[in-house]
Amino acid sequence: MKRFFKSIGREGSFKRLATSRGEDDTPVCAAEDTVKREPTKFLSWNTNSFLLRLKTNREEVFSLLRRLDPDVIAIQEVRIPSAGRKGEPKNRCELKDDTNPSREDKQIMMRALSVSPLSDYGVWWSLGDSKYGGTALLVKHSCSPVSISYSLDQSDGSKLKHEPDGRVILAEFHSFRLLNTYVPNNGWKDEDNGFPRRRAWDARMLEFVKRPHKKPLIWCGDLNVSHEDIDVSHPDFFANAKLQGYTPPNTEDIGQPGFTLGERQRFADCLSEGDLVDTYRSLHKEQEFDTGFTWSGNPVGKYRGKRMRIDYFLISRKLVNRLISSDIHGQGIEQEGFCGSDHCPITMEIQAASKEVVRLECIQSRQVDSLDT
């Protein structure tokens, strides 16, 4: 069972809030207010350890959240292990707490979630086996999703299945679906955790976005690819980067992970075949050299000043007429606004769906469901 916390007086206190379950038995966050609405303001951020950000950059993070006031926060690289002892099945929706260090880490996280602004949100986790990867989805209590799942495989028997390393959370709302992903890095070599793993992921992702569905898609997260030259600060540097002493056997795999020809083409295929729109690029046609990138290299060394846009909000084309804004909230070589991570937060805002749109989506949902049976 997932746990949701709110402030109950002093900051160091926390308690469990009630949860309920939908028809498909996926947990739905209990809300304190009875009026439900769809989220319209979204924030996505690869925190490079959510726990570490709340330990060392808490006031900066809280200030950012108060200022932007998102309805949904999609986190990548939570970097907290899932619950379960070594050799036993893991509960990937729960934080590990069976050792003294893990209990201390969990207590820090729960205390942060119990106070404003994070106490305004229900939280869903998809966690890995170790302090690697992991995603989280925080949704305001007034915007609770219809259902939550954790896999690109959406067959009936897989609704509670999690992706390796906790890379996916999929939330369904009345008029759209929201997919939060932490895409595997391509790596530098043609080995199990390198090129083959990324090719396999991209193939599954293409299958997912092509699959007919009753509702349009919002896909956000660290997608670990820069689509075009305009999406990196130094195209020649990234295109020719390589691991010392190793040359990939295929030309399409040469270059900085995230900027190889193979990754870029497969991403383009997902956009075209899935009829998806890159919201930031649709509103910002020209390169913004100071504010147009979401990942920045180490300020010390050869990657100083080398930056990439690898975090996205992509939307189904039918949602474009609802798009209001899509922004990047970090800038400069010194990583202003990154709040301690090597990625900065990004946001998107859309118009609320009309009651007629929601009604039509419900009708289409029933029609598609009847075709599937």
Q: Is 48 a known ligand-binding residue?
A: no
Catalytic residue numbers, as ranges: 182, 222, 343
Q: Is 222 a known ligand-binding residue?
A: yes
Residue 18, Cα to own-chain centre: how many angstroms? 25
Q: Is 342 a known ligand-binding residue?
A: yes
Phi, psi of 10 (to 5 degrees): -95, 155
Dist CA 290 CA 337 (whole Å): 12
Q: Is 46 a known ligand-binding residue?
A: yes
Q: Is 327 a known ligand-binding residue?
A: no
Please, which residues bridge with residue 149 across strands? 170
Characterize the bridge pairing of strands 135-140 and 217-222.
unpaired
Dist CA 258 CA 201 (whole Å): 13
Q: Give the three-class secondary structure for 43.
A: strand
Do residues 94 and 134 touch, judged by C-beta distance below 8 A? no
Do residues 165 and 348 touch, judged by C-beta distance below 8 A? no
Q: Give the three-class secondary structure for 314.
A: strand
Q: Is 100 a known ligand-binding residue?
A: no
Q: Residue ranges for the binding site for Mg(2+)?
A: 46, 77, 222, 224, 342-343
